[in-house]
């Protein structure tokens, strides 16, 4: 039986504990064997097993043959949010046997610990195991100090407090709590929930002894949990320290955004001590509180905040002001916020790599946020812009504001355009809208679809079939992100690397038929080292007025 002091335990574990689940002993052993190849610290959720007691002998043998590992056993009852249907006594007996089966730590829920007699707790302690007493709140983040005091009274070796974040500010409550208690105890703190994912990354920096992760995507044991590889390879949790600069993408929804993958990859490639998080929120005030208190150095702003953020900015670049939307926040040293619109550069950049825009005739489909970025950016470069939109009044209004023209559907086929840009969601995976144009309408030299899921949209397929060169929405996505990186860091963005990981993630999504289990979380898994193929890479920037006519140049 290993008798390791909590301090010695802390020195041999990493920052990530992998939660292992399985219905059968064989399944748990298989997952444990695969986990320990990359991560030697894991928790076995005995409550997921059909017969937990029967698994313990085999787990003891496994731990004996893997002496460098550190293992937690827990058998959480349904009353504590787990799957174990037995009584407190049954739970206790299983955990005692786990303690005698070479597990180093036992996690006992607070509700169970408070029901047990002191003599039972002493019996568990006498096995030499370290005890975690945990509290999970599946509804809110509240009274962390009160919960702490209840746990502290029982003198465990580790105190684990896991509330649920409903807002980003709930993470602040937890992080401040961890900072206050860190000196005096071995504490573990995480917020569950979509809004709590940032605590899974920043918690260890605030003093949490470690955090929990799923063995692989799809095996999460708590809402908002990420996979171990996501935490270590993408968020680089082992490298975070007080000096780490924090960035993020804010909006609703952002859980499945590819921006954390892309920007964290860029930070890693440029060896910057920075991390980029998904900031899921429905309220702008919630975001602003987080930005000022963490503090967050820069934010990618997505729906629904692109317009609403403007009154909170000290200044914006001239195009953001014209467009009336900002997608990039920069927080200056004095805490003031500056706004930029890199969506414009994400559209204009790829076009200018292929043609000079001055005097070109461009048709923009749509009159929403992305269309506004396209239209004002194009007008700024001297292009002649026509706008076609489902609601003609919106096209007319944008045309008036930008000194462009609104065009009728029937006029499209009769007009030659140098470029047609789709700035509507039509063609996006899961969107039901009917195609806006037919093959005969593509009287153009270039088609740019801003939609990037799927990469090959019906519009792009139709254009390629007619030998019309295309630009994919992936190029816009990478370009707008690359410009954000440059605004925040002052360094050139590693565009090739950013493109590579985004393409890899999108291909994985496509392989899983769009999204897996209704989620595209599979994209968080890091991509193997490989350059983008020539067909996927955009052409290098060059000043030319001629449109390339060869097919598949990107
Ligand atoms: P938005 O502000 O909601 O505007 C949507 C526009 O599309 C509106 O003009 C709307 O017309 C039109 N529309 C919506 N559904 C339609 C349908 N079924 N048929 C015809 N028109 C329809 O959205 P947004 O922010 O501009 O984004 C538009 C698309 O651009 C997104 O879906 C996304 O795929 C893409 N995008 C890509 C990137 C990138 O990095 N690649 C960045 C931003 C956006 P009404 O005026 O009639 O409502």
Please give the average per-residue pLDDT across 125-135, as a whole number.
Answer: 96
pLDDT digits (tens, 9 = 90+) for 286-311: 999 999 999 999 999 998 899 999 99
- Tell me, in angstroms, the distance from the centre of ligand 1 to residue 274's CA: 32
Instruction: Spell out the SS3 assignment of 46-110.
Output: HHHCCCHHHHHHHHHHHHHHCCCCEEEEECCEHHHCCCECCCHHHHHHHHHHHHCCCCCEEEEEH
Which residue has the least CA distance to atom 7 on ligand 1? 424
- Catalytic residue IDs: 136, 160, 306, 343
Q: What are phi and psi of 450, to 5 degrees?
A: -75, -20
Contacts 24+ apart (CB under 8 A), 32-40: 32/59, 32/62, 33/62, 34/215, 35/215, 35/228, 36/66, 36/69, 38/228, 38/229, 39/14, 39/228, 39/232, 40/13, 40/14, 40/66, 40/68, 40/69, 40/70
451 lines ligand 1 (CB under 6 A): yes
CA nearest to 19, candidates 276, 224, 157, 175: 224
Ligand 1 atom nearest the C-alpha of 303 is 25
Band the pLDDT of 533: cuts 50, 70, 90: low
User: CA-CA distance, 77 to 254, in Å (whole number)?
Assistant: 32
* The two three-digit tokens of residue 92, written as one number: 């206790």
User: CA-CA distance, 477 to 343, in Å (whole number)?
Assistant: 8
Band the pLDDT of 223: cuts 50, 70, 90: confident
DSSP state of 212: E
Q: What is the pTM of this model?
A: 0.90
389 lines ligand 1 (CB under 6 A): yes
- Gap between the terminal Cα atoms of the chain: 60
* The two three-digit tokens of residue 217, written as one number: 């995507």
pLDDT at residue 540, rounded to an integer: 62
- Tell me, in angstroms, the distance from the centre of ligand 1 to residue 476's CA: 14
pLDDT at residue 2, rounded to an integer: 53
Instruction: Spell out the SS3 assignment of 387-433.
Output: EECCCHHHHHHHHHHHCCEECCHHHHCCCCECEEEECCCCCCCCCCC
User: CA-CA distance, 279 to 343, in Å (whole number)?
Assistant: 19
pLDDT digits (tens, 9 = 90+) for 394-436: 999 999 999 999 999 999 999 999 999 999 999 999 899 899 9
CA distances from 370 to 87, 311, 355, 366 (A): 57, 20, 20, 8
Please give the average per-residue pLDDT across 329-357, as a whole number.
Answer: 96
Which residue has the least CA distance to atom 20 on ligand 1? 390
Strongest mean pLDDT among 85-89, 185-189, 428-432, 511-515: 85-89
- Tell me, in angstroms, the distance from the centre of ligand 1 to residue 361's CA: 21
pLDDT digits (tens, 9 = 90+) for 485-507: 999 999 999 999 999 999 999 99
pLDDT at 536 over 90: no
* The two three-digit tokens of residue 501, written as one number: 């990981």
Which residue has the least CA distance to atom 1 on ligand 1? 368
pLDDT at residue 522, rounded to an integer: 33
């Amino acid at each position: 039986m290993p008798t390791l002091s909590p301090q010695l335990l802390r020195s041999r574990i990493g920052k990530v504990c992998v939660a292992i689940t399985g219905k059968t002993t064989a399944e748990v052993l298989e997952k444990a064997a695969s986990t320990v190849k990359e991560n030697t610290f894991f928790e076995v959720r005995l409550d997921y097993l059909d017969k937990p007691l029967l698994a313990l002998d085999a787990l003891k043998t496994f731990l004996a043959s893997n002496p460098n590992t550190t293992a937690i056993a827990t058998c959480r009852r349904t009353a504590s949010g787990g799957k174990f249907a037995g009584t407190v006594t049954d739970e206790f007996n299983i955990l005692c046997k786990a303690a005698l089966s070479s597990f180093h730590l036992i996690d006992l829920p607070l509700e169970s610990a408070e029901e047990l007699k002191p003599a039972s707790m002493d019996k568990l302690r006498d096995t030499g195991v370290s005890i975690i007493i945990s509290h999970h709140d599946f509804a809110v983040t509240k009274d962390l100090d009160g919960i702490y005091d209840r746990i502290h009274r029982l003198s465990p070796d580790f105190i684990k407090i896991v509330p649920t974040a409903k807002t980003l500010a709930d993470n602040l409550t937890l992080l401040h709590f961890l900072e206050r208690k860190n000196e005096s105890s071995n504490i573990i703190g995480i917020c569950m929930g979509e809004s709590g994912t940032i605590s899974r990354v920043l918690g260890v920096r605030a003093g949490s002894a470690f955090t929990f992760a799923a063995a692989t995507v799809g095996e999460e044991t708590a809402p908002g949990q990420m996979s171990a590889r996501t935490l270590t390879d993408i968020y680089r949790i082992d490298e975070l320290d007080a000096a780490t600069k924090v960035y993020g993408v804010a909006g609703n929804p952002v859980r499945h955004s590819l921006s954390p993958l892309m920007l964290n990859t860029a930070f890693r490639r440029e060896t910057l001590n920075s991390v980029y998080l998904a900031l899921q929120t429905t309220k702008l005030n919630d975001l602003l509180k987080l930005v000022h208190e963490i503090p967050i150095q820069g934010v990618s702003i997505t729906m629904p905040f692109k317009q609403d953020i403007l009154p909170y900015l000290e200044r914006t670049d001239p195009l953001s002001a014209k467009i009336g939307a900002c997608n990039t926040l920069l927080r200056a040293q004095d805490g003031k916020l500056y706004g930029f619109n890199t969506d414009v550069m994400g559209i204009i950049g790829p076009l200018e790599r292929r043609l000079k825009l001055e005097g070109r005739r461009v048709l923009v489909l749509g009159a929403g946020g992305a269309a506004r970025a396209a239209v004002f950016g194009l007008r700024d470069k001297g292009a002649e812009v026509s706008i076609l939109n489902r609601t003609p009044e919106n096209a007319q209004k944008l045309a008036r504001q930008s000194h462009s023209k609104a065009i009728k559907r029937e006029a499209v086929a009769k007009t030659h355009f140098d470029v047609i840009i789709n700035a509507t969601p039509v063609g996006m995976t899961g969107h039901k809208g009917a195609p806006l144009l037919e093959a005969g309408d593509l009287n153009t030299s270039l088609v740019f679809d801003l939609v990037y899921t799927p990469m090959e949209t019906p519009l792009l397929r139709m254009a390629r079939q007619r030998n019309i060169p295309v630009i994919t929405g992936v190029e816009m996505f990478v370009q707008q992100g690359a410009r954000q990186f440059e605004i925040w860091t002052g360094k050139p963005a590693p565009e090739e690397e950013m493109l590579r990981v985004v393409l890899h993630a999108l291909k994985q999504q496509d392989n899983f038929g769009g999204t897996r289990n209704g989620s595209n979380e599979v994209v968080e898994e890091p991509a193997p080292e490989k350059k983008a193929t020539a067909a996927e890479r955009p052409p290098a920037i060059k000043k030319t007025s001629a449109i390339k006519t060869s097919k598949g140049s990107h």
